Amino acid sequence: MYSITIMCIIIITLSMIMMMLASTISKKSILDREKSSPFECGFDPKSSSRLPFSLHFFLITIIFLIFDVEIALMLPIILILNYTNLMMWSITSIIFIMILLVGLYHEWNQGMLNWSN
């Protein structure tokens, strides 16, 4: 028990030393305005380097991530069929798929799936 505690203390100490060392080595000592500005082929930028953020693209990305996680959650449903009760598996799968379909209907009803906007 004591050896595990000692090892944890040593690991935490070493990681703290490494983080402090990396922090002190990586600090910039000179803040230069030219180095901080965006670089555009050696010339000053003609316009702002910060483009406006597309909220529609962000929403499409979030919907894609949600569907991606849903697929990752649905794959084990098929694999677990051999190990569980068929009735409980059916009820759980139907409830899960119904929740996904209600979410899809809500996104469709709110106009989130309109790609042309």
Estimate the crossing angle of helix 86-109 against helix 55-79, to 10 degrees. 170
Classify residue 86: in a domain, yes or no: yes
pLDDT in tens, 3-53: 889 999 999 999 999 999 888 887 665 565 556 666 656 555 566 666 677
Q: Which has more confidence, 1 or 51?
A: 1
3-state DSSP call for residue 40? strand
Number of domains observed in the structure of the chain: 1
pLDDT of residue 91: 93
pLDDT in tens, 61-104: 888 888 888 888 888 888 888 888 999 989 988 998 899 889 88
Classify residue 16: in a domain, yes or no: no
Classify residue 106: in a domain, yes or no: yes
Q: Is the model's pTM score more than 0.75?
A: no
Contact between 60 and 117 under an 8 Å Cβ cutoff? The reply is no
Which residues form the domain of 62? 54-117
Classify residue 40: in a domain, yes or no: no
Classify residue 4: in a domain, yes or no: no
Classify residue 92: in a domain, yes or no: yes
From CA 2, how far away is CA 15, in angstroms rounded? 20
